[in-house]
Amino acid sequence: MDKRQITDTIVIHCTQTPKDMDIDVAKVTEWHTQRGFDTIGYHYLIKRDGTLQSGRDEDVVGAHAVAVNGTSIGVALVGGGTVDMGWENNFNPEQFETLKTILLKLKEKYNIEKIIGHYQVEASKECPSFDVPEWLEKMAWFSLAKIALQAGSKIYANRQKTKMAMSDAQLMHAEKMARGEEAYQGKLLEARQSDWKDEFVLLILSAPIVVLAWAVISDDPEAMDKVKLFFEYFSTLPSWFTNLWILVVASIFGIKGTQIFRNGKK
Ligand SMILES: [Zn+2]
């Protein structure tokens, strides 16, 4: 058998056998040699249970689609026929799974440009009994969705890892600081900079100042009154609450303050 010089196409076939007819490479080889072929015409055969079997050598010219035998690999699915020699899409999901796998493998190995159904190069046949371009499109979308899903969960996993790594790093710093191996200053500040609570408290603290500034710039006495009212209300709040509020603010910003204080002491 001659070696193929070009491989740019894969042709999908079926054996056009009824769905309960479980045949394999040996049987198809027998049929094809009876028809005068040297051996089985296809390069691959996918059995009813999805098992992939090798037919003739992958690199030799096949005998499966007259128009493209010299440039293609032939992959056949067992089934696709009716008892009275009709065409029927009766394949098992396992067969499609195997088909997908072998197609991707061959596509990567050779520079495959076209994956077609036998009927696309031989109008008199309905082989392989299903709309190949439509199936390929569906498969592509499915693969894309699957890739997107995998990428999404990968990003999520990486984020979790980053969070864990960061808390590990913080813990390590804390331990080192406790052992006096590392200076206190800077480290906590760095860790705190990404903390949203700082921004939230800062926003609340800034609100009256912003309103006040706006009141001055726009010359709006009403806004100024509102700011005054705010501080009036704030001062009438129970002292335990205002003290707690100051404590919370101090605990968040206090670290930075302490640091400035420490730096100043040096
Ligand atoms: Zn065919």
> Does 206 share its domain with 220?
yes
- Provide the domain limits for residue 158: 131-183
Please name which of 144, 137, 95, 96 lies closest in space to residue 115, comparing C-alpha atoms. 137
pLDDT at residue 266, rounded to an integer: 38
- Using an 8 Å Cβ cutoff, are 82 and 18 in contact? yes
pLDDT at residue 145, rounded to an integer: 63
pLDDT at residue 232, rounded to an integer: 76
Ligand 1 centroid, distance to 30 Cα (angstroms): 17
> Does 22 share its domain with 96?
yes
Ligand 1 centroid, distance to 245 Cα (angstroms): 79
Query: Among 35-44, 155-164, 222-231, which is the least confidently predicted range?
Result: 155-164
In a domain, 252, yes or no: yes
- Catalytic positions are 13, 42, 118, 125, 127
pLDDT in tens, 73-124: 999 999 999 999 999 999 999 999 999 999 989 998 998 889 999 999 999 9
> Is the pLDDT confidence value at 138 over 80?
yes
In a domain, 191, yes or no: no
- Using an 8 Å Cβ cutoff, are 95 and 77 in contact? yes
Give how many domains the chain has, as a whole number: 3
User: What number is the average pLDDT over the span 123-148?
Assistant: 84
Q: Residue 184 CB: number of other CB atoms within 10 A?
A: 14
Which helix (H) or strand (E) segment is 114 a member of?
strand 114-117
> Is the pLDDT confidence value at 229 over 60?
yes
In a domain, 67, yes or no: yes
Q: Write phi, then psi, for 5 (nearest 5 degrees).
A: -85, -35
| pLDDT interval class at 264 (50, 70, 90) | very low
DSSP lists the bridge partners of residue 11 as: 74, 116
Choice between 192 and 20, residue whose per-residue pLDDT is larger = 20
> Does 56 share its domain with 163?
no
Chain-centroid distance of CA 82 in Å reads 40
> Is the pLDDT confidence value at 67 over 90?
yes
- Using an 8 Å Cβ cutoff, are 242 and 234 in contact? yes
Distance CA(55)–CA(23), nearest Å, equals 13
Spell out the residues 6+ positions from residue 2 whose beta carbon is closer than 8 angstroms to its own.
60, 61
> Does 110 share its domain with 18?
yes
User: What number is the average pLDDT over the span 67-72?
Assistant: 96
**Lookup result for tokens 């331990």:** 175
Ligand 1 centroid, distance to 12 Cα (angstroms): 7
Q: Write phi, then psi, for 226 (nearest 5 degrees).
A: -65, -40
Ligand 1 centroid, distance to 142 Cα (angstroms): 26
**CATH code, 26:** 3.40.80.10
pLDDT at residue 260, rounded to an integer: 43
> Is the pLDDT confidence value at 237 over 90?
no
> In sequence order, which ranges of 53-92 are alpha helices (DSSP H)?
none
Distance CA(259)–CA(266), nearest Å, equals 11
Ligand 1 centroid, distance to 45 Cα (angstroms): 12
pLDDT at residue 235, rounded to an integer: 72
* Token reading at 25: 């490479």
User: What number is the average pLDDT over the span 219-227?
Assistant: 72
Distance CA(111)–CA(92), nearest Å, equals 28
